[in-house]
C-alpha cells in the first residue's frame, strides 16, 4: 500500500460563477507536516471544508486511508481519525476548559442517553480515566491552571490552545489546522509552533493552512501552494521559496 | 455562597408571593392558593421540558403547546371518554397508566417527527417552524371532529384518574371549599415534578448532558469532534417533548375537559415566561418561576382593582397581559439570567 494517507482527485467546488477549488490530484503522506499556503481567496479554507465534510464538493473524490470519504458527514470523517480546527476559533464558550476537553475526549458510546441515565461503573471508570487524559493534555499545552474557567474567559491565544488540546485529546491520525497562528502574539505563536512540531514528531499527520510564511518555511516538510482554487506548486520549503509561479502569485507578475 | 444567596432570594420571593395571595384576598385565599399551585405544578413541569430544549441544548422551540397537546389528546382518546357535541360515552378504553405511557411516547415521537426536517435549522428559523407546526396541530385537531370532538372537545374522562384518588386527600380538604379532584391532579403534578427533576439532575451531570451543552455552544465544533449533533438535538427534542406531553395530560385532567383552545400559542408563551423567570438552564428555576408566575396571573384582578377603580373583566384581562409583558421586560433588563440561572451561562443570546 502506498504511503498516501489522504488523496484528493479532480475535486471541484464553485460558488455561483466563482471557482473556489479545482484540484486535479493532491496527496498527503503519512507522518508529514504539510502546509497549504496561498493568497487570500485561494480556496484554502474551502479545501479544508471539503475534506472535512463541512461542505459538499461539486465533483471529485476524496480518499482517506484508502476509504472514500467524499461528501460524507463531518462527524463521521472525524471518527475516522481526521480532526480539524477552525479559522475563527470555535470553543464551547459557556463550558469550562475541562468540560470542553471531557466532551471532546468522550467516546460516542460514553455519551449515549441510556448509559448516562444508568451511569454504570464502567462509565464512571471511563470518566475518571478521561479526566486524567484531559489533565495530561492541559498540562502539555500549559492551560491546566485554567481548567475550571469558562472558555469564553480565555484570551484569543488561549482559545487557540484549547481548540488544539480538544483536537488532540483522542490522538487523531490527521490534524487539519486552519490558521493556528492567526491573531496570536509572537511569543505564544512560537509556543504553538513548537507544539505542532512536537505533535508531528509524535506521528500525527498535520495539514495546516497558515499565512505566516516564515513559520511555514521553518516547520513544514512539504508545502502546497494554491491560487484561485488550483494547485500551482508543491514541494519542500526551499523548492517553494525559489518557485517562480509562487513568487508571481504572491507578489504579482513582473510583466503586467 | 453566590448560589445560596440566589436561592434564598428566590425562596423569599416565592414565600412573599404566596403571602400576597393571603394579603390580597380576604376570603377564599386557601382555595385560590390551591388552584394556582395546581396550575403552577403543571406549567412548571412543562417549563422543565422546555428548559431541556432551550436551556440545555439551545433549541428555540416555540411550539411547546403542541407537545403538551399531543400527550393530552393521545392519552385521553385511549381512555374511556365522550367526544364531540353529542358525544356518547365509550366505556371501553385502556387503563390510564398504559394510555399515559403511550401518550408520552407519542409526544416524544411527535418531537422526533417535527425535529427530523426542522432541527437542522438554527435559531429563529426553528422557532418559526415550531410555532407553525403547533398551529397546524391545533387546527388539525379542531377539524378532525369525528375523533377529537373538534370545537366541542372531549369530556367525561376524569374518572380514569379520580378512581385512584386516595382517601386522605378528601379527608384533608374537608375544611376547605376545594375540589378534591383538582387537589389530586395538583398533588400528582408536584410528585411528577420531583421525579422528573431527579431524573434530569442525573442526566444534566452526565456525559449526555455535557454533550447537549456542547451542541448549545457550537454545533460545528461538536461535529468536528466526531459527535452527531443532529442526533443529540433530536434526543433532546424527544425528551423535552415527552415531559411536555406528561404535563399536557395533567392539564387536561385539571380542566376536566379537553379543548383545542387550551393549546393556543399563548400557552407556549406562558411556559416561556415561566422558564425565563425561573432562570434558563437551571434545574429548579422553572419550579419557583412557575409559582411566582401563577401568583401574578391569578392575582392580576386584585392588582387591577388597586390600579383602576371599576375595571371590568375585559380590562382586567388586558392588565394581565400588560403585567406579564412588563415582568419579562424588567427581567430582561435587570436580571436576564432569571431567579436561579447562572450569570456565566446567560443563555438568551441565541446563535
pLDDT at B100: 96
Nearest CA distance, A100 vs chain B (angstrom): 8
Q: Is the dihedral of CA A143, A146, A148, A150 positive or negative?
A: negative
Judge whether A23 and A231 are in contact, CB under 8 Å. yes
CA distance B300 to B320: 6
β-bridge pairing A4-15 and A59-64: antiparallel
Residues facing residue A8 across a β-bridge: A26, A62
Nearest to B206 among A94, A116, A166 (CB): A116
List of chain A residues whose C-beta atoms are within 8 Å of the C-beta of residue B222: 75
Residue of B nearest to A117 (CA): B203
Residues facing residue A209 across a β-bridge: A36, A178
CA distance A109 to B74: 33
Residue with the three cell numbers 513559520: A215
pLDDT at B350: 47
φ and ψ at A4, to 5 degrees? -75, 115
Do residue B224 and residue A110 have CB atoms under 8 angstroms apart? no
Do residue B225 and residue A83 have CB atoms under 8 angstroms apart? yes
- Residue B9 has which C-alpha cell? 432570594
pLDDT at B335: 83
CA distance B218 to B39: 36
ipTM of this predicted structure: 0.90
HEC profile of B195-238: HHHHHHHHHHCCHHHHHHHHHHHCHHHHHHCCCCHHHHHHHHHH
Judge whether A68 and A61 are in contact, CB under 8 Å. yes
User: Which parts of chain A register pLDDT below 70?
Assistant: 1-2, 251-256
Give the alpha-carbon dihedral of A76, A77, A79, A81, to 10 degrees.
170
List of chain B residues whose C-beta atoms are within 8 Å of the C-beta of residue A113: 203, 208, 235, 239
**The model scores a pTM over 0.95:** no
Q: Is A182 in CB contact (< 8 Å) with chain B?
A: no
Comparing CA positions, the residue from A22, A68, A33 lying closest to residue A209 is A33
Do residue A111 and residue B208 have CB atoms under 8 angstroms apart? yes
Q: Is B223 in CB contact (< 8 Å) with chain A?
A: yes
Q: Does domain B28-346 have CATH number 1.10.3470?
A: yes
pLDDT at B178: 83
Probe site for chain B from A56, A78, A80, A92 (most B CB atoms < 10 A): A92
Probe site for chain A from B57, B223, B226, B238 (most A CB atoms < 10 A): B226
Nearest CA distance, B193 vs chain A (angstrom): 17
User: Which parts of chain B register pLDDT below 70?
Assistant: 1-3, 344-351
List of chain A residues whose C-beta atoms are within 8 Å of the C-beta of residue B223: 53-54, 73-75, 78
Judge whether B328 and B269 are in contact, CB under 8 Å. no
Do residue A150 and residue B344 have CB atoms under 8 angstroms apart? yes
Edge-to-edge strand list for the sheet holding A82-84: A82-84, A174-178, A205-209, A33-37, A222-227, A230-235
Nearest CA distance, B58 vs chain A (angstrom): 12
φ and ψ at A37, to 5 degrees? -125, 170
pLDDT at A74: 94
List of chain A residues whose C-beta atoms are within 8 Å of the C-beta of residue B206: 116-117, 119
Phi/psi-derived region of residue B190, left when phi > 0, alpha when psi is between -120 and 50, beta in every other case: alpha
Supply the DSSP string of B94-112, one letter for each residue. --HHHHHHHHHHHHHHHHH
Nearest to B345 among A94, A115, A167 (CB): A94
List of chain A residues whose C-beta atoms are within 8 Å of the C-beta of residue B235: 113
Comparing CA positions, the residue from A154, A170, A185 lying closest to residue A90 is A154
CA distance A102 to A126: 11
pLDDT at B262: 94
Q: What is the CA radius of gyration of chain B?
A: 20
Nearest CA distance, A226 vs chain B (angstrom): 24
Comparing CA positions, the residue from B29, B50, B109 lying closest to residue B285 is B50
Q: Is the dihedral of CA A157, A158, A160, A165 positive or negative?
A: positive
DSSP SS3 for A193: helix
Do residue A104 and residue B206 have CB atoms under 8 angstroms apart? no
- Largest Cα separation within chain B, whole Å, is 64
- Residue B228 has which C-alpha cell? 452527531
- What is the share, in percent, of chain A residues with pLDDT greater than 90? 66
List of chain A residues whose C-beta atoms are within 8 Å of the C-beta of residue B227: 75, 103, 108, 111
Q: Which residues contact B173 (CB under 8 A, 6 or more apart)?
A: B180, B183
What angle (nearest 5°) sits at the alpha carbon of residue A117, between those of residues A116 and A121?
65
β-bridge pairing A33-37 and A222-227: parallel
Nearest to A90 among B210, B218, B228 (CB): B218
Any idea where the domains of chain B sit in the sequence?
28-346
pLDDT at B351: 46
Do residue B225 and residue A103 have CB atoms under 8 angstroms apart? yes
Amino acid at each position: 500500500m502506498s504511503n498516501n494517507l489522504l488523496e484528493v482527485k479532480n475535486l471541484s467546488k464553485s460558488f455561483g460563477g466563482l471557482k473556489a477549488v479545482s484540484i486535479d490530484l493532491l496527496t498527503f503522506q503519512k507522518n508529514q507536516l504539510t502546509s497549504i499556503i496561498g493568497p487570500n481567496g485561494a480556496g484554502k479554507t474551502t479545501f479544508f471544508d471539503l475534506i472535512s465534510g463541512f461542505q459538499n464538493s461539486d465533483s471529485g473524490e476524496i480518499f482517506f486511508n484508502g476509504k472514500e470519504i467524499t461528501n460524507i458527514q463531518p462527524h463521521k470523517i472525524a471518527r475516522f481519525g481526521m480532526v480539524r480546527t477552525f479559522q475563527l476559533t470555535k470553543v464551547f464558550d459557556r463550558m469550562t476548559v475541562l468540560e470542553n476537553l471531557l466532551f471532546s475526549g468522550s467516546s460516542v458510546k460514553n455519551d449515549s442517553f441510556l448509559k448516562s441515565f444508568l451511569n454504570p461503573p464502567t462509565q464512571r471508570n471511563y470518566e475518571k480515566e478521561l479526566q486524567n487524559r484531559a489533565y495530561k493534555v492541559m498540562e502539555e499545552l500549559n492551560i491546566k491552571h485554567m481548567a475550571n474557567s469558562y472558555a469564553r474567559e480565555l484570551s484569543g491565544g488561549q482559545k487557540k490552545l484549547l481548540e488544539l488540546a480538544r483536537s488532540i485529546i483522542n490522538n487523531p491520525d490527521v490534524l487539519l489546522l486552519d490558521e493556528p497562528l492567526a491573531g496570536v502574539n509572537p511569543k505564544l505563536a512560537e509556543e504553538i509552533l513548537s507544539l505542532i512540531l512536537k505533535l508531528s514528531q509524535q506521528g500525527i499527520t498535520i495539514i495546516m493552512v497558515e499565512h505566516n510564511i516564515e513559520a511555514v518555511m521553518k516547520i513544514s516538510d512539504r508545502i502546497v501552494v494554491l491560487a484561485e482554487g488550483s494547485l500551482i506548486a508543491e514541494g519542500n520549503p526551499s523548492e517553494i521559496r525559489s518557485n517562480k509561479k509562487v513568487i508571481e502569485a504572491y507578489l504579482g507578475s513582473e510583466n503586467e | 455562597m453566590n448560589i445560596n444567596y440566589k436561592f434564598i432570594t428566590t425562596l423569599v420571593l416565592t414565600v412573599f408571593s404566596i403571602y400576597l395571595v393571603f394579603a390580597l384576598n380576604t376570603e377564599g385565599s386557601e382555595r385560590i392558593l390551591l388552584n394556582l399551585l395546581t396550575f403552577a405544578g403543571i406549567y412548571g413541569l412543562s417549563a422543565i421540558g422546555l428548559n431541556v430544549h432551550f436551556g440545555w441544548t439551545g433549541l428555540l422551540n416555540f411550539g411547546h403547546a403542541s407537545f403538551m397537546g399531543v400527550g393530552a389528546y393521545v392519552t385521553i382518546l385511549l381512555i374511556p371518554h365522550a367526544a364531540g357535541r353529542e358525544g356518547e360515552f365509550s366505556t371501553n378504553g385502556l387503563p390510564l397508566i398504559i394510555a399515559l405511557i403511550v401518550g408520552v411516547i407519542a409526544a416524544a415521537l411527535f418531537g422526533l417527527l417535527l425535529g427530523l426536517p426542522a432541527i437542522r435549522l438554527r435559531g429563529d428559523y426553528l422557532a418559526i417552524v415550531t410555532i407553525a407546526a403547533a398551529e397546524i396541530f391545533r387546527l388539525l385537531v379542531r377539524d378532525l371532529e369525528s375523533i377529537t370532538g373538534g370545537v366541542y372537545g372531549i369530556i367525561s374522562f376524569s374518572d380514569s384518574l379520580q378512581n385512584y384518588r386516595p382517601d386522605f386527600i378528601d379527608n384533608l380538604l374537608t375544611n376547605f371549599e376545594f375540589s378534591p379532584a383538582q387537589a389530586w391532579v395538583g398533588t400528582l403534578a408536584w410528585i411528577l415534578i420531583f421525579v422528573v427533576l431527579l431524573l434530569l439532575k442525573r442526566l444534566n451531570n452526565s456525559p449526555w448532558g455535557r454533550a447537549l451543552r456542547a451542541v448549545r455552544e457550537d454545533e460545528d465544533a461538536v461535529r468536528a469532534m466526531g459527535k452527531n449533533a443532529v442526533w443529540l438535538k433530536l434526543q433532546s427534542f424527544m425528551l423535552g417533548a415527552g415531559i411536555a406531553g406528561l404535563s399536557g395530560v395533567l392539564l387536561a385532567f385539571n380542566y376536566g375537559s379537553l379543548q383545542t383552545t387550551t393549546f393556543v400559542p399563548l400557552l407556549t408563551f406562558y411556559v416561556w415566561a415561566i422558564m425565563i423567570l425561573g432562570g434558563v438552564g437551571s434545574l429548579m428555576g422553572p419550579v419557583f418561576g412557575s409559582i411566582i408566575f401563577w401568583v401574578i396571573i391569578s392575582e392580576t384582578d386584585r392588582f387591577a382593582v388597586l390600579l383602576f377603580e371599576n375595571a371590568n373583566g375585559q380590562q382586567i384581562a388586558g392588565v394581565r397581559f400588560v403585567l406579564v409583558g412588563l415582568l419579562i421586560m424588567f427581567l430582561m433588563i435587570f436580571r436576564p439570567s432569571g431567579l436561579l440561572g447562572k450569570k456565566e451561562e446567560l443563555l438568551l443570546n441565541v446563535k
